[in-house]
Amino acid sequence: MPLWWPLLLASLLFAIGVYAVLVRRNAVLVLMGVELMLNAVNINLVAFDAHLRDQLHGGQTFALFVIVIAAAEIGLALAIVLLVFRSHGHIDVDRLRSLADRDLDPSTSSGHRKLDRPEVRR
């Protein structure tokens, strides 16, 4: 099997992942994009491992590492998403603007806050 097949697949997956991370508004779908990117890298690792016939199979080992880290990452991230949902009532990434640098003027900041959390805790 030529090398460029898995590489093509990996770059397609990575591009889809980047697209999802950058564009999707749903936080869960953003996380799915992250997973896609991670797994695209995994494919790369495994493909090069096979292509280079590495005696120690470093590529496969790294892929396992990445899977473990991805599992941990998704666990943590889903917990964050859950908390965001509980506190904000939505998981729309576009509307989560609390980190924006804005004036300390109380009127404007309160306006933002209203935008941020329209309905807190039903």
Partner 1 sequence: MNALLLLLVLLPFASAGLTFFAGHRAEVATKGLSVGASGLGLALAAIVAFPRLGDAEPIGQVYASTSAAGPSIELSLYVDQLSAVMLLLAHSVAFLVQVYSLGYLGDDPRYPSYTALVAIFTGAMGVVVTADDLWLLLVGWELMGACSYFLIAHHWELPVARAGAVKAFLMTRTADLGLLFAIILLGIRFDSYRISTIMSGILEGGFARDELWVPAMLLTIAVIGKSAQFPLHTWLPDAMPGPTPISALIHAATMVAAGVFLVARTYPLFLSAPMALNLLAGVAALTMFLGALYALFSDDLKRVLAWSTVSQLAYMFGALAIGAYSAGILHLLAHGAFKALLFLAAGSVVHAVGSTSMSSMGSLREKLPDTFLTMTLGFGALAGVVPLVGFFTKDAVIGASLDAARDGRLVWPWLAWVLFVSAVVTALVTVAYCLRAWLLVFFGAPAPSAEPALTSEPAPRAEPVSLRDASSLGSSGQATEVAAIQESPWSMRAPLYLLAVPTAVGGLVVAYPDLLLGSEVEYEPLHPDVAVGMTILVALTAGVVVWAARRHARTPWRVPVIPHPQVDRVYDVALVRPVRRLASVVRAGDRDVIDAYANGAGSATRGLGWVLRLAQNGNVQGYLMVVVVGAAALAVAAGVLA
To the nearest whole angstrom, how small is the minimum distance from the Cβ of residue 61 to partner 1? 26
In angstroms, the CA 117 to CA 58 distance is: 47
Task: Please tell me whether residue 21 binds partner 1 under the rule CB under 8 A.
Answer: yes
Binding of residue 96 to partner 1 (CB under 8 A): yes
User: Among 7, 18, 46, 74, which residue sits at the site for partner 1 (rule: CB under 8 A)?
Assistant: 18
32 near partner 1 (CB under 8 A): no
Give 3-state DSSP helix, strand, coil % of the chain, rounded to 5.
75, 0, 25
DSSP 8-class letter at 94: G
**DSSP for residue 91:** -
Q: Contact positions toward partner 1, by CB under 8 A?
A: 18, 21-23, 30, 93-94, 96-101
